[in-house]
Amino acid sequence: MVDRIDRRGFIRLAGLFTGATTWELFVKPTFVFKVASTLFPTQQPTPTNGEAQAETTDSARKVTPTQPPELAPTKKPKAELERRIEAYGVAKSIPAFEYHGDYYNMYPGYYMDPGYFAKQMEWLAINDFHAVTADELVGYLNGELDLPGRSVILTTDSGNTSLNSLPRMVPVLKEYGMHFISFIWTKNMDKGESSVCKEDRCWKTFESALSSGVFSFGCHSETHRDFSKVKASEGLSELRSSMDEIESRLGIKVKCLSWPYEACAYTPDELKSIGLEFAFGGTSRPIMEMAVYPNDPMRYCLPRILPPAPNGVSGRPNNMTMEQIMERYTNYPREFKRSSDEQPIILSNRTQKISDR
């Protein structure tokens, strides 16, 4: 039986929803992909009391492990790509992880804390993984750019609830040479829309993250609704407006989207017409094929898996460790190295202890 995330079943049992809506995505004229909308919001959750406390305590400020990666992140990107391709070959498939910052508790099997997040970034660095940027992913999807066999796509859905997580993530990503693609939910991001964003705090946080060089940015819509239920003219207009806001505030060209509720919609030609190059959904492929491929026909509904939680295993694909995920979804399975403290918190579900935050 195919291993699947229990996200939909969990919500149904909780009585939050009574059914799913299917939709059709036309990728090529001769194929129709039917994908069920995910029945769980993908926005960044409201920070918990624990997060607020973590932001003001020494333990939260000292979550980054001290062991540096084997590769200095200051080396030239092109030279590093060439070195990794020579070492690991060209990527035939790349897994994409769906985070919501570095501190969240969405439901059982999908949660994270800052210390464990830092441990995962350390593991990726020690094992010489290349974190793909938005521009690199466009080239890979177009079949124009080769990426190393050890590559990973790190994504996070962001918004005005990301004001604590983004500043924490930046130094960790810099230390370990990692890169994230952040999709911004633009509702209540302006200083006049929310007290959270007074003195333009929200956009300034994203401007700082952009200037750090460890983030690419895309769109997560304005209303965060299920666009598979919204007519194309209305939905495309909203997405373009949200993209315009991001471009105006950050001075970048927005090329990518993550679908709210993981509910992909509209045709590739329609999405291309508003300037989008690719988009992420959720379980848009069978669970054991949930990776991104060169010339991917699902480029506007790319699958994302969930990073292992602090108990050591992922909720999608169920009960798989980081090692197992990389062995399944990359074409370079080899023996992986452990983190600096030799505790297999990421490498095995036998250890349930959370990291040293």
pLDDT tens digits along 94-146: 999 999 999 999 998 899 999 999 999 999 999 999 999 999 999 999 999 99
Q: How confident is the model at residue 332 (pLDDT cuts 50, 70, 90)?
A: confident
The pLDDT of residue 61 is 36
Quote the distance between the C-alpha of residue 312 and its chain's center. Answer: 18
pLDDT reading at 90 higher than 90: yes
Average pLDDT for the chain? 81
Report the pLDDT value the prediction gives residue 337, as an integer from 0 to 100.
82
Give the pLDDT band of residue 87 (cuts 50, 70, 90).
very high
pLDDT over 90 percentage in the chain: 68
Domain ranges in the chain are 7-329
pLDDT tens-place string over residues 18-52: 333 333 333 333 233 334 444 343 444 444 444 43
Who has greater pLDDT, 114 or 345? 114
Confidence of residue 340 (pLDDT cuts 50, 70, 90): low
CATH number for the domain whose boundaries are 7-329 = 3.20.20.370
Residue 339 pLDDT: 67
Does residue 356 surpass a pLDDT of 50? no
- Summarize the confidence of residues 215-235 as an average pLDDT: 98
Query: Who contacts 122 (Cβ-Cβ below 8 Å, separation ≥6)?
Result: 65, 67, 69, 176, 339, 340
Q: Are 332 and 339 in contact (CB under 8 A)?
A: no
* Of 104 and 61, more confident: 104
Which CB contacts under 8 angstroms, 24+ apart, belong to 22-26? 23/228, 23/263, 23/264, 23/265, 25/264, 25/265, 25/267, 25/298, 25/300, 25/301, 26/267, 26/268
Long-range contacts, 17-23 (Cβ 8 Å, 24+) = 21/226, 21/228, 21/229, 21/263, 23/228, 23/263, 23/264, 23/265
Q: What is the pLDDT of residue 57?
A: 36
Average pLDDT of the residues in 285-313:
97
- Cα separation of the two ends of the chain: 38
Q: Which residue has the tokens 């790190």?
A: 154
Lowest mean pLDDT among 2-16, 97-111, 137-151, 241-255: 2-16
pLDDT at 326 over 50: yes
Average pLDDT rounded to a whole number, residues 76-105: 94
